[in-house]
Structure 1
Amino acid sequence: MSKYLSFGLLILLFCPGYLQAQGGFWLKVKNDNSTEEVWRYFDEELKVQSTLDSILTTAVAEGYLAAYLEKTTEKTDSLEYNLVSGDRFKLVGLRKGNVPDPVWEEIPIGKASFAEWNHWSSQVLNFFENSGYPFVQLRLDSLQREGKEVLASINLETGPLITWDSVEVSGNTNTKAIFIQNLTGIKPGTPFSQKEFIESSKTLQNTPYFELSNAPGLSFQNKSAKPTFYLRDRNVNVIDGVIGLLPNENEPGKVLITGQLDLELYHLGGKGRDIAVHWLRMNPQSQSLGIQAKESFIFRSPLSVQLGFNLLKQDSTFIKRAFSLDFDYRFSGTGNIRFFTNREASDLISTSGYQDLKELPEVADYRWNQYGIGLNFNWLDSQFFPRRGMKVQIEMATGNKKILQNTGIPSEVYQGLDLNSPQVTGNFQVEQHVYVRPLWGMWFRGSGGFTRNKNLFLNDLFRIGGLKSIRGFNENFFFAKTYGYLNMEQRLIFGENSYLMLFSDIGLLTNPYEELTRDIPISFGAGINLETGNGVFRFIYGLGKSNLQPLSFSYSKIHFGYLARF
């Protein structure tokens, strides 16, 4: 990329020769206007030359147009230079020359000075580099000098218009070039943008499917720019099995074994196609199943589509099914907006004991069609084991809920009941990673949600508790109309993806069907996350206390499992 200023009066003396030190270079530059002498160490030769160029550029910006560097000493591992500043000139006038009027008006220049000129020219060069002219040049022309005062005109040479060529993908990857093109937003035929090229590297580096194996390449020919991205696929597919050993509350002295299985297949065909299956058994009579399938960049647009099915069987009380359709629009490298619809259906499994009811029970049959919007932002430095950054998710939905009359329940309980009513729900989650020291990190996550309807049932409520929410309790232990909880971890890092941790969780839940409608569960414990080849072993021990569970070692929860990536 050509980006320089030529002033006519300035003569740059580039320093020939090569430093031949083994393992590093020492540099000292003495200013003839200063007695300060400081040695600086560089681990690469190119950094030495870059520093020397920067020193000269700064001198010119301050008005020392004839400044140059004079080498005084050269050794195998060190160089000494003297900066000869010369006379200081003052820029008293600046004519726009051949700069187009729209650019002159869009990027106005302030009071004439070399510092202001340097700042303005940098803005203009950036403007053209991001508008298809990467070889743009700016210089001062028609110089008029009176003593130490200079009057000049601006000369702009844009160079040829450069457009994007097709994206090329290289390396050990199955990723298709069209996927990279859609992901980065680089479209063949559109004007070249240096900013797009830089941002594309950041976007690809933060993509969970692959990583950059080398710095991206860029070649110019026939007035087009061809980007090349060197990728290496990550082991992102997941098989995660967890076994929970819990006290059997129905049979004291015995252990209840629960299970969880997560199967996630990502980036199928190299096109961002994902499939996930999640199964969870909370107790012998309760279990849940979730299936999702996602297709990215429909019709080569920033739009992705996801289909989902979720099933929850709550012992012998009720069963709930949900079908969802999500449209996900990616508006930046870190953010996306979702529009979704969800069809939720819940039915009683058994009506035994309901024949003599005088009012509607706490569970009921219903159908709920909801429509919602969600926002997601991801500023994490890694998608798998982040050290720094934040992640934000917000979701709101509304729709009409219809209560169905169950023939096993007396029809009188439905008299005077509004069977059709609007229902609103919302939730959020904010995650923050703090990297304090190389061996010490912290993790915080805040979550909350609410649901509103004049006829809320137990099978309407959120399910909270367990390994992925408030630890120290059974999975989906709590029913909640509104909830909020905070997870906190202190992590002692002893490997790239391995750490010991101490955790503490605290929440605030409301449930209108409990004797004490307000609950403040707290929990604490410890665990280990250990990377082993292509997988991660996890072991977590937690104790929790709430209105429904005393703080006791007999109610402690142990979760361990192995998450395999392939």
Structure 2
Amino acid sequence: MQKTLFTFILIYLTFSTEVFCQTLFLEINGSNETETKIIDSLNYLKTHKDYFSIKSEIEFIQNSLFKKGYIEHETSEVSKINDSLFSTTINLRTKYKTVHVYYNNQLINKNILHQISTKVFDNYFELPFKQIENALKFINAKITEDGFPFSTLHLDNISIENKTYLKANLNIDSPKEKRLVNEIIIKGYEKFPRSYLKHYLKIKKNQAFDITTIKNKTEQLNDLRFASQIKSPEVLFSKDSTSLYLYLEKSQSNNFDGFLGFGTNEETNNIEFDGYLNLNLTNNLNFGESFRLLYKSDENDQKTFNVNATLPYIFKTPIGLDFELQIFKRDSSFTTVDQSIKLHYQINSKHKIYTGITNLESNNLLSTINTSNITDYKTSYYTIAYEYIKPQSYNLLFPINSNFYFETNFGNREQTNSSRKQTQLYIDASKIFNLNSTNSFYTRINGSLLSSDNYLENELARFGGINSIRGFEENSLYASTYGLLNTEYRYQISNSIYVHSIIDAAYLENNILNTQEKLFGYGFGFGILTKAGVFKLNYANGKLQNQKFKIANSKIHISLTTIF
């Protein structure tokens, strides 16, 4: 008896599962063949697991038809044709293509309506029926941006004008007074420089409240080196005030950079070393300031000392100050002192413009040798510059996606008993093309041009080395005009390791020697993100256009950038 009962239960469960999981089919027809094709074009779901799913699909189709302008369509009762097939008929009737929406021109600015309609009049505007929903959302978003976050709007008094268009009134329900940002409260990094809120993020007290705009602006905090956003902003509404809460944290932004390079001296066949130290301090006083100290000594007995300081938003204005002092000494030939002061204006988080003055003074140290190419001079320049930086903060190895810096200087060079007008142009631009998560292509263009009636050796641009054309000694190339192209194909093995190729090219003109040269650098390198910082090693070989490769000309450059 028990065995028979068990067999019965097993058979019941097996066959009942098939019954309960039976597939149902839905067929929707129009009142004629044309309407049926219109309904089929909606690609409705024809197979269902139960009757409730069928009813939901019919409601979805009805809603879709309504949005397309078939507001008078009629749907018949669902008929059961057989055990698995259900059918219904929808009479589409008239399709209305346009709606004339009447509005209060005291509440809505015409400029908003012109963004959604090509036909805007003093008291109404025209909309294609299928665009009504998106248009209402857009209008509501614009009203919200003006400080009315709790506004609502809808169409009422909808009536039929003729067989092609409808008439409706736009009803707006919003508070009488705007919501303003009355208080900004920073959590986590309370000493965050407030000037950055007003001038960098463009968020300030008593501005119209719009949470979407605020969220978009606060995302720019991740572009700052010294601060980042922990979580999205939050808002506390009270009866008479609006408090905005920002959640920030201070980031490690100081870095120390240095490299060691060595190569073989062609004359002595001895290994010679060169290197530099680069210290950058950012926001240590919680003012957003930056300070840079660079000291470089290379194998050509050249020494460079550079100090640069930036003070943003002085006196809580959008204007900042940049100071720079650079001293260059080439063996016992000459020294050059470059001093500049600039005012900058931060247009937004990515764009900045500069203006200022630059003074150069160079002294000839070869007092016992008669040379006309190295002599004492003083130059005063007026400077105008523009800078664009686009970060990619998610990538610790390559935090800058693209940058562009252009500077022009014009002034006079003063020598004993002579004065000459000069113009100097400088450009530095780079871009990373991210092919996918592991492969990218890096390119950089750098160049300088000095326009003058005659030239001095101690005023020419100097380049060459790890930060310009690789495979050449640091600052070993002198030019009145030069342009260089750096390229790297990069492959990220992981988030902390990458390898890359090196293909560099440069062109230079030296108007003192009347020479024009084309240079090339080839090699490879890799980088590793460690706890101490980013360690880089480059191996490159440099050559002139008509020169054969020599292993002895190869350079190995090692650098380590430590963030603290």
TM interval, shorter chain, is 0.7 to 0.9
Match 1:308 to one of 302, 324, 329: 324
Identity over the aligned pairs, expressed in percent?
Answer: 21
Give RMSD over aligned pairs.
3.2
Mapped to 2, the partners of 1:492 and 1:38 lie a distance apart of: 48
Residues 93 and 338 (structure 1), Cα distance of their counterparts in 2 relative to 1, 3 Å cut: same
- Counterpart position of 2:231: 214
Mapped to 2, the partners of 1:191 and 1:31 lie a distance apart of: 52
Mapped to 2, the partners of 1:463 and 1:526 lie a distance apart of: 24
Asked if the contact 1:99–1:155 (Cα under 8 Å) also holds between the matched residues in 2, the reply is no
- Counterpart position of 2:248: 231
- Counterpart position of 1:42: none
Mapped to 2, the partners of 1:99 and 1:60 lie a distance apart of: 28
Residues 177 and 387 (structure 1), Cα distance of their counterparts in 2 relative to 1, 3 Å cut: closer
Mapped to 1, the partners of 2:178 and 2:386 lie a distance apart of: 37
Structural mapping, 1:19-98, within 5 Å:
33-34=39-40, 35-37=43-45, 61-63=67-69, 90=96, 92-98=98-104
Letter in 2 for 1:370: Y
Q: Give deviations 1:406-428, integer Å, cap 9, x for gaps.
A: xxxxxxxxxxxx61111100111
- Counterpart position of 2:283: 267
- Counterpart position of 1:328: 344
- Counterpart position of 1:398: 410
Q: Once the 2 structures are TM-superposed, how far is the Cα of residue 194 of structure 1 from its aligned partner?
A: 4.5
Q: Once the 2 structures are TM-superposed, how far is the Cα of residue 177 of structure 1 from its aligned partner?
A: 4.0
Q: Give deviations 1:487-542, integer Å, cap 9, x for gaps.
A: 1101110222431111100011101233x610111001111110002411111110
Asked if the contact 1:94–1:154 (Cα under 8 Å) also holds between the matched residues in 2, the reply is no
Q: Once the 2 structures are TM-superposed, how far is the Cα of residue 175 of structure 1 from its aligned partner?
A: 2.4
Asked if the contact 1:337–1:374 (Cα under 8 Å) also holds between the matched residues in 2, the reply is yes
Q: Once the 2 structures are TM-superposed, how far is the Cα of residue 374 of structure 1 from its aligned partner?
A: 0.8
Mapped to 1, the partners of 2:183 and 2:27 lie a distance apart of: 49
Asked if the contact 1:60–1:114 (Cα under 8 Å) also holds between the matched residues in 2, the reply is no
Q: Is 484-493 or 446-455 further displaced after alignment? A: 446-455
Q: Once the 2 structures are TM-superposed, how far is the Cα of residue 36 of structure 1 from its aligned partner?
A: 5.0
Asked if the contact 1:485–1:505 (Cα under 8 Å) also holds between the matched residues in 2, the reply is yes
- Counterpart position of 2:82: none
- Counterpart position of 1:11: none
1:167 pairs with 2:165: no
Q: Once the 2 structures are TM-superposed, how far is the Cα of residue 206 of structure 1 from its aligned partner?
A: 1.6
Report the secondary structure of 1:90's partner residue: coil
- Counterpart position of 2:429: 430
Q: Once the 2 structures are TM-superposed, how far is the Cα of residue 328 of structure 1 from its aligned partner?
A: 1.1
Please say which structure displays the higher CA radius of gyration. 2
Structural mapping, 1:159-198, within 5 Å:
159=175, 160-171=177-188, 175-194=192-211, 196-198=213-215
Mapped to 2, the partners of 1:343 and 1:113 lie a distance apart of: 64
Gapped regions of structure 2 (runs ≥ 5): 1-25, 29-38, 48-59, 74-88, 120-125
**Aligned positions, number:** 490
Mapped to 1, the partners of 2:349 and 2:91 lie a distance apart of: 48
1:561 pairs with 2:538: no
Report the secondary structure of 1:216's partner residue: strand
Q: Once the 2 structures are TM-superposed, how far is the Cα of residue 398 of structure 1 from its aligned partner?
A: 0.5
Residues 208 and 549 (structure 1), Cα distance of their counterparts in 2 relative to 1, 3 Å cut: farther
Q: Once the 2 structures are TM-superposed, how far is the Cα of residue 91 of structure 1 from its aligned partner?
A: 6.0
Residues 426 and 284 (structure 1), Cα distance of their counterparts in 2 relative to 1, 3 Å cut: closer
Letter in 2 for 1:462: A
Q: Once the 2 structures are TM-superposed, how far is the Cα of residue 297 of structure 1 from its aligned partner?
A: 1.1
Report the secondary structure of 1:245's partner residue: strand
Report the secondary structure of 1:164's partner residue: coil
Mapped to 2, the partners of 1:224 and 1:192 lie a distance apart of: 11
Q: Is 148-157 or 202-211 further displaced after alignment? A: 148-157
Report the secondary structure of 2:283's partner residue: strand
Residues 479 and 136 (structure 1), Cα distance of their counterparts in 2 relative to 1, 3 Å cut: same
Q: Give deviations 1:19-48, integer Å, cap 9, x for gaps.
A: xxxxxxxxxxx9964455499xxxxxxxxx
Q: Once the 2 structures are TM-superposed, how far is the Cα of residue 166 of structure 1 from its aligned partner?
A: 3.3
Mapped to 2, the partners of 1:290 and 1:548 lie a distance apart of: 36
TM-score (norm 2): 0.79
1:375 pairs with 2:386: yes
Structural mapping, 1:412-451, within 5 Å:
419-451=418-450
TM-score (norm 1): 0.79
Letter in 1 for 2:183: S
1:366 pairs with 2:377: yes
Q: Once the 2 structures are TM-superposed, how far is the Cα of residue 551 of structure 1 from its aligned partner?
A: 2.7
- Counterpart position of 2:21: none
Asked if the contact 2:496–2:530 (Cα under 8 Å) also holds between the matched residues in 1, the reply is no
